[in-house]
Structure 1
Amino acid sequence: MNTPHPNAPLAIPTGNEKNAVRRRPGGRSTRVQVAVFEATIQLLAERGYEGLSIASIAERAGVHETSLYRRWKTKEQLILEAIDRRVAQEIPVPDTGVLRSDLVAVLQSLRLFLQSKEGQALFQTAVATLHVPELRALRQEHWRQRCAHLQILFDRAIARGELSPQVDCQFLLEMLSGIIYMRFFVINEPVDEMLPERAVNLILSGVKPG
């Protein structure tokens, strides 16, 4: 029986192989994806968007470059998917039973993430690529998906009678997260652990059901 060399590069399965992988969750395909995303985030923090390439990601992850191109047609698509995965990990959807504490938990996670080296690197990447046409639609889709991911917080609150069904939940999220981004990256003032609670209390006071 032939044993693959331990340093042999990994390849992402395609075609019929993908169907087999779907039946084995947590298998080789998942390990490869995790390695690729981790390499992408690391290199963004080290080199920034302009210094990043599919080739450098493949080398860091130990994956064939052609395998990456088969799955992600451009580095922009790969970057956005890697960022989306990391944000979902670092800012999970809480379920405290109360909208107020759910939103405070989301903002606390956002605050801690943006304080990290990786979080700051990802935000700086977003700013540096505002002029990149290939990323505009992808970024908008990323935000829509993130809002949809967090929509369950508001659905629960509406069901409990804490929130009016007429509230624009995406706009509410933009206001709350905007406070954190403003403090971090515009006026450069400290973002202490009490800020999320203060922001949530202020915003929710204006959207209580009548």
Structure 2
Amino acid sequence: MTEKASGSTRRRGADLERAIYAATLNELAEAGYADLALDRIAQRAKIGRSSLYRRWSSKQDLVAEAVTRALPPMEETPDTGSVREDLLACFERMHRLLDGLGRLALQAVAAELHDSADNALVTVIRDRVLEPRLQVVLDVLLRGVGRGEIRAEAAVPLLARTGPALLFQHLLMYGTVPPRSHLEDIVDRVILPAARP
């Protein structure tokens, strides 16, 4: 089938992309990244393979884009006037994110990244999905330093990663996000004791 004929009988634009991303996440959740096949994604999305190959040059690019699109848009850094409340707001967003439509796919990616020789995927997921959200937590800590709530030496990337790492660890170990009550424990028992003056 020619490109013109394929394009004239199938979805286009945003509708086509949504179908492809949904098919990618479903395939990722069921098969995992290592066994993910573009042919099966095309079948799930009810499109020709050429529709995939025209848009993405590699499997990792498609997966990274699908995972990124499954996430809610980045929100502004919360500013309630309290570092504790700001951290809780950050972790509540991450909790919703992990519990959302992309949860199974994110779990599949995370479970297999450490076994993957595909460093390009690791880089894309880190740079486009994880780091921007970790930066928001670090920004909260840095603002807490300015208000005297946080020691300057505690506002570092390692501490900013702690809360998200605990949420993600629970997801990997148990297949679910932790109860929301754990968010307060993470803030009150882990982060703030390590960060307060």
Q: Does the 8 Å CA contact 2:141/2:155 hold for their aligned counterparts?
A: no
Q: In the aligned structure 1, how far is the partner of 2:112 from the partner of 2:167?
A: 19
Structure 1: 4+ residue segments shifted above 6 A: 4-7, 187-190
Question: What amino acid is aligned across from residue 139 of structure 1 in structure 2?
Answer: V
CA deviations on 1:105-130 (whole Å, 9 max, x unpaired) are: 33234345545674134213321343
Name the residue aligned to 1:138. 121
* 1:190/1:52 CA distance change after superposition, 3 Å: closer
Name the residue aligned to 1:16. none
Name the residue aligned to 2:9. 8
Q: Does the 8 Å CA contact 2:141/2:160 hold for their aligned counterparts?
A: no
* 1:57/1:155 CA distance change after superposition, 3 Å: same
Answer 1 or 2: higher relative contact order, Cα 8 Å, separation at least 6.
Answer: 2
Q: In the aligned structure 1, how far is the partner of 2:44 from the partner of 2:175?
A: 33
Aligned residues: 187
Q: Which moved more, 1:120-129 or 1:162-171?
A: 162-171
Q: 1:95 aligns with which of 54, 59, 78?
A: 78
* 1:140/1:6 CA distance change after superposition, 3 Å: closer
Q: 1:123 aligns with which of 102, 107, 112?
A: 107
Question: What amino acid is aligned across from residue 130 of structure 1 in structure 2?
Answer: H
Q: Aligned to 1:192, what secondary structure does the other structure show?
A: coil
Equivalent residue runs for 1:1-210 within 5 Å: 8-10=9-11, 28=13, 30-86=14-70, 88-89=71-72, 95-97=78-80, 98-115=82-99, 118-134=102-118, 136-145=119-128, 146-155=130-139, 158-159=142-143, 160-161=146-147, 162-163=149-150, 166-167=153-154, 169-186=156-173, 191-201=178-188, 202-208=190-196, 210=197
Q: Does the 8 Å CA contact 1:43/1:52 hold for their aligned counterparts?
A: yes
Q: Structure 1 length as normaliser, TM-score? A: 0.68
Q: Does the 8 Å CA contact 1:93/1:150 hold for their aligned counterparts?
A: no
Gaps of 5+ in 2: none
Q: In the aligned structure 2, how far is the partner of 1:104 from the partner of 1:143?
A: 23
Shift of 1:171: 1.7
Q: Aligned to 2:115, what secondary structure does the other structure show?
A: coil
CA deviations on 1:21-52 (whole Å, 9 max, x unpaired) are: xxxxxxx3x33322221221122223333443
Could you say what the CA RMSD is over the residues aligned between the two structures, in angstroms? 3.5
CA deviations on 1:78-120 (whole Å, 9 max, x unpaired) are: 112211222x318855525243223223323434554567413
Q: Does the 8 Å CA contact 1:80/1:139 hold for their aligned counterparts?
A: no
Identity of aligned residues (%): 23
